[in-house]
């Protein structure tokens, strides 16, 4: 693995670059520059979503890099996610078309169901709330999945997958799916190692993408963790970083790619975007990987506890 464009094979024959740029919380006005810097630094995978509210600027930056001849569209792996308000099967294709229009693309490389819980559709609201509670729906992600499969048939997306799905939800989906999910994108880092989920996905040839790989430092949005932690300052991580003359962030990212797990660190800082790409020129030893696995605390940044009463809330059994 010598480059930021190193890939892993998906179960449908497509390849996913192991390193991608996260774009959540990357504000309009800066996200485009981040995408440009990432492509210049060798990233070929951009992780986005309708709910990040910045897809038009991401798309404009991608288009410019293609026009400049830095990359071709086919070099890139562009990901987006179906938001919870669009789980009704009839809303799936219109939602994808909205994303494709914003991105100025004719197809996506990967489209994910962002979260297994559906919400009611209220114009202009990502989290429709009434009396302090999210207006959830009873949409079943299995029905949503059938509409996702049609998008592959129509050539609008190369691969489909899910995000934040637990093992029983994956098993339920697999029992009816015509197209097996290519990817499950989940929170994964040494404080949340999820060994059973990693093992299950490996056994079913579902690739994992690790989100919040740095532990989402400094996050204020949707952060309901009662117990904030600084993974970048963990002593075990710091010692390994020192031994390899790398940064804590580079060790945390290498931890995934060395296990064939894609990862999507977010940054809008060009120096960090570059730093996060420099993870293909060193190798963690088995002892390093074992040490990183032993600091697991089952600590989840992305909990969405306001949804925990819903039958499809994915984190009650972990
Ligand atoms: N599917 C889902 O439900 C879901 C949920 C959460 C996230 N995601 C995806 O995963 C991506 C990453 O997750 P995340 O944004 O929560 O967290 P993250 O990537 O773990 O952390 C991002 C934070 O780390 C900082 N950072 C980046 N590189 C650094 C470095 N080398 N040294 C020190 N700090 C560094 C960034 O700051 P600056 O930007 O200021 O440099 C930013 O504040 C998201 O952007 C999104 O694309 C998906």
Domains and CATH numbers, the chain: 7-307 (3.20.20.100)
| 93 in contact with ligand 1, CB cutoff 6 A | no
Residue whose C-alpha is closest to residue 244's, from 281, 290, 291, 190: 281
Examine the residue annotation and report whether 52 is marked as an active-site residue of this protein.
yes
Which of 31, 32, 266, 274 to mutate for ligand 1's pocket (most ligand atoms within 8 Å of CB)? 266
pLDDT at 225 (0 to 100)? 63
Atom number in ligand 1 closest to CA 250? 31
Phi-psi region of 231 (alpha: psi -120 to 50; beta: other; left: phi over 0): alpha
Q: Is the CB of 275 under 6 A from ligand 1?
A: yes
Q: What interhelical angle do 31-40 and 270-277 show, nearest 10?
A: 40
Per-residue pLDDT of the chain (318 residues; tens, 9 = 90+): 446 779 999 999 999 999 999 999 999 999 999 999 999 999 999 999 999 999 999 999 999 999 999 999 999 999 999 999 999 999 999 999 999 999 999 999 999 999 999 999 999 999 999 998 999 999 999 999 999 999 999 999 999 999 999 999 999 999 999 999 999 999 999 999 999 999 999 999 999 999 999 999 987 666 666 678 999 999 999 999 999 999 999 999 999 999 999 999 999 999 999 999 999 999 999 999 999 999 999 999 999 999 999 999 999 975
Q: Kindly state the tokens that stand for 91.
A: 């809303």
* DSSP assignment of 223-286: ---SS---GGG-HHHHHHHHHHT--HHHHHHHHHHTTT-EE--B---HHHHHHHH--SS----H
Cβ atoms within 10 Å of 91's Cβ, excluding its own: 18
Helix (H) or strand (E) holding 211: strand 207-211
Among 43, 214, 273, say which to mutate for ligand 1: greatest number of ligand atoms within 8 Å of CB.
214
Nearest atom in ligand 1 to the alpha carbon of residue 81 is: 1
- 8 Å CB contact between 48 and 35: no
pLDDT at 1: 42
- Ligand 1 pocket test, candidate residues 265, 268, 302, 315, most atoms within 8 A of CB: 265
Q: Residue 211 in contact with residue 187, Cβ under 8 Å?
A: yes
Ligand 1 atom closest to the CA of 267, numbered from 1? 39
- Ligand 1 lined by 302 (C-beta under 6 Å): yes
Closest ligand 1 atom, residue 112 Cα: 1
Q: Is the CB of 22 under 6 A from ligand 1?
A: yes
156: CA distance to ligand 1 center in Å? Answer: 28
* pLDDT for 240: 98
- Confidence at residue 224, expressed as pLDDT on a 0 to 100 scale: 61
Strand partners for 119: 136
Span from the CA of 248 to the centroid of ligand 1 (angstroms): 14
Is the Cα dihedral 25, 163, 198, 261 positive or negative? negative
Kindly give, in sequence order, each residue whose CB lies less than 8 Å from that of residue 198, ignoring residues fewer than 6 positions away.
Answer: 188, 208, 259, 261
Q: What is the CA radius of gyration of the chain?
A: 19
Tell me the backbone φ, ψ of residue 237, rounded to 5 degrees: -65, -45
């Amino acid at each position: 693995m010598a480059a930021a464009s190193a890939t892993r094979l998906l179960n449908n024959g497509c390849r996913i670059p192991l390193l991608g740029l996260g774009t959540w919380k990357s504000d309009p006005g800066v996200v485009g520059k981040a995408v440009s810097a990432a492509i210049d630094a060798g990233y070929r995978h951009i992780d986005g979503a309708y709910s990040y509210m910045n897809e038009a600027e991401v798309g404009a930056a991608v288009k410019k890099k293609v026009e400049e001849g830095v990359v071709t569209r086919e070099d890139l792996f562009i990901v987006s996610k179906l938001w919870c308000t669009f789980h009704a099967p009839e809303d799936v294709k219109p939602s994808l078309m909205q994303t494709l229009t914003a991105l100025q693309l004719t197809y996506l490389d990967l489209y994910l169901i962002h979260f297994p819980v559906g919400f009611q559709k209220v114009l202009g609201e990502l989290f429709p709330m009434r009396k302090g509670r999210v207006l959830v729906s009873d949409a079943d992600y299995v029905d949503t999945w059938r509409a996702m499969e049609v998008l592959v048939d129509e050539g609008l997306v190369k691969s489909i997958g899910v995000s934040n799905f637990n093992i029983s939800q994956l098993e339920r989906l697999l029992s009816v799916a015509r197209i097996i999910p290519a990817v499950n994108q989940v929170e994964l880092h040494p404080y949340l190692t999820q060994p059973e989920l990693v093992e299950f996905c490996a056994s079913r040839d579902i690739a994992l993408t690790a989100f919040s790989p740095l532990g989402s430092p400094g996050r204020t949005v949707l952060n309901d963790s009662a117990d904030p932690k600084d993974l970048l300052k963990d002593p075990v991580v710091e010692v390994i970083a020192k031994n390899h003359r790398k940064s804590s962030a580079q060790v945390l990212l290498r931890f995934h790619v060395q296990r064939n797990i894609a990862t999507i660190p977010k940054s809008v800082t060009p120096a960090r975007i570059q730093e996060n790409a420099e993870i293909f020129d060193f190798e963690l030893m088995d002892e390093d990987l074992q040490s990183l696995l032993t600091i697991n605390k089952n600590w989840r940044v992305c909990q969405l506890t306001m949804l925990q009463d819903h039958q499809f809330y994915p984190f009650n059994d972990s």
